Amino acid sequence: MAKQVAKPEWACVAEAFEASGLTQREFALARGVRLSTLQSWVYRRRRAEPARGESVRLLPVQVATATASAEPVVEVMAASGARVCFAVGTDVAYVARLVAALEK
């Protein structure tokens, strides 16, 4: 029978995973825990936390003149220099997650 892990211990492991930048599979292999166990710990930690608003970081914006194109687009340039174009009306939360991922 597997050893019961105290809440502070699994919460610390789940927190370490969140900060690691690894996939759950990679982290579980590195820590020697079952993937399903890690997934459970991460799920419980996220569920136990009160809904936290992610901090909003404002960046300078440069408005360029419109160019003739078939459909209107919005171009986002990340601080890293990566540029991504989206159709006008694309979900803002999706764009924010993508830009955040590009900056990692």
pLDDT per residue over 29-77, tens digit each?
A: 999 989 999 999 888 888 877 655 556 666 777 777 666 666 777 788 7
Residue 78 region by backbone torsions, left for phi larger than 0, else alpha for psi between -120 and 50, else beta? beta
Helix, strand counts (H, E) of the chain: 4, 2
Q: Whose CA is closest to 18, among 42, 35, 36, 40?
A: 42
Tell me which amino acid residue 92 is: V
| DSSP assignment letter at 81 | S
35-48 vs 7-20: helix crossing angle, rounded to 10: 100
Whether the CB-CB separation of 22 and 13 falls below 8 Å is answered with no
Tokens standing for residue 38: 């890690």
Predicted structure pTM score = 0.43
pLDDT band at 3; cut points 50, 70, 90: low
